[in-house]
Amino acid sequence: MNLANIRKIGILGAGTMGSGVAEIFAESGYDVIFYNRSEAGMQRGLGRIRSNQGTLIRNDILTQAEAEAAQERIHPTHDLTDLAPADVISESIAENLEMKVALFRKLDQICSEKAILTTNTSGLNITQIAAAVSQPERFAGLHYVNPPHIIPLVEIIKGEETSDATCECLIDLAKEMKKEPVLVQKDVPGFVSVRLQFAVMREALHLVEEGIASPADIDAVMKHGLGLRWALLGPLEIADLGGLDVFHTISNYLFKSLSNATDSPKVLKDSVAAGKLGAKSGSGFYDYSPGKAQQIIADRDEKLLEMLRLKSRGTLA
């Protein structure tokens, strides 16, 4: 399979990630076969796509005509066999290894032997999922970051048997969709983006648990300090600019005091046990009155788009 042969994309799962990925492909001119088991879930997914597009239209990134044309390219289905013509499969169902393996066993019988099969897992083992298909060299991770219709990053993850040709084709496909592809050359849990995110999360939870800073102040450090800098320079670039000798010295005394927890910390376990799951339950580290989470997400998307505009113009470069 190469980029020139890709016409139809099969998307499995109409949740936040699946609907966002379906939107990206449709807006990039591809026909999308959009699968979800339930009609209610499908309607939520299609509604999410329309809402996402509304944000893009308000920000002059997409026209109404382009949005409608993209919607016409999306073909909802509840029948797995409708995915037979797909040249590329992108799966975004629940983060459950057994469910993904079972699904790809079925897809292996349905899809063309030339089709590239991918999973949007955030950290499950690519090689284990690939074992469900007859040609694991055509299987890879294709991991998007939420919100996928805005965030440029896409990780392409090689399983133990994933071919270089498969990775090259997926890199070309990501670039065609104006994404920023990164090749993850070893199949490790969490790949790159999730490992970095949870390394920060582990230390943030440790700081809360030890009473060193409040959740609001920890988030403020990220939003008004580190996060802004990381939007422009990666941690290794920052180390180069600051001096590797300086970072070497700091590492020698600081690393020993950082959290080295190997499982979920008590502050997180207690919150989950109390049913405080965050926005979905109305409270977590913060309280969420009705509509508050939706407003936070809407504001987030508007600000992300503005940041990307500034970066594309070189204002933030």
Q: Render pLDDT for 62-116 as a digit per residue (tens, 0 to 9).
A: 999 999 999 999 999 999 999 999 999 999 999 999 999 999 999 999 999 999 9
pLDDT bracket for residue 130 (50, 70, 90)? very high
More confident site: 228 or 314: 228
More confident site: 138 or 310: 138
Q: Is 144 exposed, middle or buried (0-12, 13-18, 19+ CB in 10 A)?
A: buried
Assess whether 10 and 142 both reside in one domain: yes
**Single-letter residue type at 147:** P
Assess whether 106 and 155 both reside in one domain: yes
pLDDT at 50 exceeding the cut of 70: yes
Determine if the peptide bond prior to 147 is cis (ω within 30°): yes
pLDDT at 252 exceeding the cut of 90: yes
To the nearest 10°, the Cα dihedral for 254, 255, 256, 261? 130
- 115-124: average pLDDT: 96
Q: Provide the number of structural domains found in the chain.
A: 2
Q: Indicate the residue among 184, 206, 231 that finishes a domain.
A: 184
pLDDT at 310: 85
Residues 191, 122: Cα–Cα separation, whole Å: 8
Assess whether 46 and 150 both reside in one domain: yes
Domain around 304: 195-313
Question: What separation in angstroms does the CA of 230 have from each of 87, 207, 224, 227, 251?
Answer: 36, 21, 11, 5, 19
Q: Indicate the residue among 156, 184, 212 that finishes a domain.
A: 184
Longest CA–CA separation in the chain, Å = 59
- 217-246: average pLDDT: 96
- 121-126: average pLDDT: 94
Assess whether 89 and 127 both reside in one domain: yes
Residue 135, number of CB atoms within 10 A of its CB? 15
- Report the chain's mean pLDDT, rounded to a whole number: 96
- 251-260: average pLDDT: 97
- 256-274: average pLDDT: 96
pLDDT at 2: 87
pLDDT at 309: 86
Residues 183, 171: Cα–Cα separation, whole Å: 8
Assess whether 210 and 291 both reside in one domain: yes
pLDDT at 306 exceeding the cut of 60: yes
> Can you give the CATH number for the domain in which 93 is found?
3.40.50.720
pLDDT at 136 exceeding the cut of 60: yes
pLDDT at 206 exceeding the cut of 60: yes
pLDDT bracket for residue 314 (50, 70, 90)? low
Assess whether 224 and 148 both reside in one domain: no
> Can you give the CATH number for the domain in which 279 is found?
1.10.1040.10
pLDDT at 35: 98
pLDDT at 193 exceeding the cut of 80: yes
- 145-167: average pLDDT: 97
What percentage of the chain carries pLDDT values higher than 70?
Answer: 98
- Helices 193-209 and 266-273, interaxial angle, to 10°? 90
Q: What is the pTM of this model?
A: 0.92
Assess whether 67 and 155 both reside in one domain: yes
Q: Indicate the residue among 184, 216, 238 that finishes a domain.
A: 184
